[in-house]
Structure 1
Amino acid sequence: MAVVGEKTGSDVKVRSLCSMPFWQTTRASSSSATGSSMHSVHQQNQVVQSLDRSNHQPSSTVSSLAKSLLPIWKRLRLDPPNKLYFPYEPGKQVRSAVAIKNTCKSHVAFKFQTTAPKSCFMRPPGGILAPGESIIATVFKFVEPPDNNEKPVDKKSRVKFKIMSLKVKGEMDYVPELFDEQRDQVAVEQILRVVFLDPERPSPAMDKLKQQLTESEATLEARKKPREETGPRIAGEGLVIDEWKERRERYLAKQQKLNSLASAVSNVVE
């Protein structure tokens, strides 16, 4: 009898589950389902609130994010595309050149910047190009003497040049303040690094540099010369000035005669 009266742990657990009323099990399952649904609703509310916050952000943040995702379209074409070649002449001021062409259908302003403004300058430092127009810019740089352990042409320069572009509305005078006023529309076209060439060793890069410098000088000299009058002279041009000169000459001659006559009369009276 004692053996029959013993109960194992598993029997107790089964009896306890069976002894639980049906409404309690239903309430427990319903409460767990309600808790999970409440958790999902809370997560949805958090997502909605985050979307509302993003919609209430300033438009500048959204526009800047959109610009960062958009590809950068080049407005200018450079030649050389990413380098500035300088003849290596230590202790002298040397020149480089880069051709800049506007490939847009609108006017584009460009501007130079350098990390060494005290030893480098550009001519011109900026300008406005019409659609399809090109220009050869000259860059001047002072070459510092090398150290004792450096080879002449192995001298590396940390100086860099940056060319920026900005679309403008039609023809206008170039002022550097354009890039400050429309800073959001400015694009960095290219960062050019300095490469030194041996002036005594012929190379395609050196030949091209000499050609570009010659073209740049010729263009500069042509701008300095006054424009020659190629068209026909307008009929009657200058007649007003010539007539005024003739009248003035006749007036002066008449005044001279009157003065001489007056002096003659005064001599007779005396």
Structure 2
Amino acid sequence: MAIVDNQQQRRRHKSHSDMKLFRFCPFWHSGGQTSSLSSSTSSSTQNLHHGRSSNRQVEGSQQRSKTVSSVARSLLPPRRRLRLDPSNTLYFPYEPGKQVRSAVKLKNTSRSHVAFKFQTTAPKSCYMRPPGGILAPGESLIATVFRFVEQPENDEKHLDSKTKVKFKIVSLKVKAGTDYVPELFDEQKDQVAEERILRVVFLDAQRPGPALEKLKRQLAEAEEALEARKKPPVDTGPKVVGEGLVIDEWKERREKYLARQQVEAVDSL
């Protein structure tokens, strides 16, 4: 009996010591759950880092694409809103001591209304007609440029001499119905585009050529368009006399008939 009691006491003591050890080290009992929790935490952390790195890569690629596109736009030539004829030259007949004229045709090749304006480095001796305006899509006009030609120092002609006078045409996209004022280009400086810088070329007025003949035709067309703009618009509506009385064809015939009747009555007397 003493041996049995001793064995039971040892078992109780061992179980009691195991309970104490379990209280101090509870993770030993749930070792599998702890390891799975730690592994899931580490995997989620890795996924988070991977997501952040992928976002950084996407943002970096977008920034690089934007930089490349901006550089490409800067290297490409600007898109023209106007087509000029002649494209980059103003031809003037060489007549020293006189005011001579040149012409250039402008056509709006864009899908929007475009305002244009002439600029020159010699505003005292040169001016343009019109100095600016607004063209609808597909609309065109011929502008006339006036310039005074100074006398040369000697009697020789200087047709090939370089001139410092330059002309420039700038454009601006505007909404339909906008009234043209020069201040448009100051209010929207960032949207103003430089169309062309026109160089001056003198032509011998005594020697006819294709360039001189074309210049004469354009100047004649510009004068015809100017005269047409000066004429008042033709009134195609009905005739209105007095306080809004409309005279139609039937009333005119009736009045003529009554007049004839009166004349015949007088003659019969």
1:141 aligns with 2:137: no
The match for 1:240 is: 243
What is the aligned-residue identity percentage?
71
The match for 2:37 is: none
1:117-136, aligned counterparts within 5 Å? 117-136=123-142
Does the C-alpha gap of structure 1 residues 65 and 182 become closer, same or farther in structure 2, counting only changes over 3 Å?
farther
CA RMSD of aligned residues (A): 2.6
Partners in 2 of 1:67 and 1:183 — Cα distance?
19
The match for 2:174 is: 168
Higher CA-based Rg: 2
The match for 1:217 is: 223
The match for 2:78 is: 72
Q: Deviations over 1:126-148 (max 9, x none)?
A: 10000000010000000011122
Contact in 2 for aligned 1:146/1:155 (Cα 8 Å): no
How far residue 156 of structure 1 moved from its aligned partner, in angstroms, is: 2.9
Partners in 2 of 1:134 and 1:213 — Cα distance?
15
Q: Deviations over 1:14-54 (max 9, x none)?
A: xxxxxxxxxxxxxxxxxxxxxxxxxxxxxxxxxx9xx99xx
The match for 1:205 is: 211
Q: Secondary structure at the match of 1:191?
A: strand
Does the C-alpha gap of structure 1 residues 175 and 67 become closer, same or farther in structure 2, counting only changes over 3 Å?
farther
1:227 aligns with 2:230: no
Partners in 2 of 1:156 and 1:120 — Cα distance?
17
Q: Which amino acid aligns with 2:126?
A: C
Q: Secondary structure at the match of 2:117?
A: strand
Runs of at least 5 residues in structure 2 that lack an aligned partner in the other structure: 1-55, 64-68, 246-269
Q: Which amino acid aligns with 2:243?
A: V
How far residue 125 of structure 1 moved from its aligned partner, in angstroms, is: 0.6
1:90 to 90, 93, 96: 96
Runs of at least 5 residues in structure 1 that lack an aligned partner in the other structure: 1-47, 56-62, 243-270
How far residue 154 of structure 1 moved from its aligned partner, in angstroms, is: 3.1
Q: Which amino acid aligns with 2:213?
A: D
Q: Which amino acid aligns with 2:171?
A: S
1:159 to 162, 165, 177: 165
Q: Secondary structure at the match of 1:240?
A: coil
The match for 2:53 is: none
Q: Which amino acid aligns with 1:171?
A: G
Q: Which amino acid aligns with 2:224?
A: A
Q: TM-score, with normalisation over the residues of structure 2?
A: 0.62
Partners in 2 of 1:64 and 1:180 — Cα distance?
25
How far residue 157 of structure 1 moved from its aligned partner, in angstroms, is: 1.5
How far residue 189 of structure 1 moved from its aligned partner, in angstroms, is: 0.5
Partners in 2 of 1:143 and 1:172 — Cα distance?
37
Partners in 1 of 2:71 and 2:116 — Cα distance?
25
How far residue 171 of structure 1 moved from its aligned partner, in angstroms, is: 2.1
Aligned length: 183
Partners in 2 of 1:218 and 1:151 — Cα distance?
32
The match for 1:188 is: 194
Q: Which amino acid aligns with 2:121?
A: T
Q: Which amino acid aligns with 1:193?
A: R
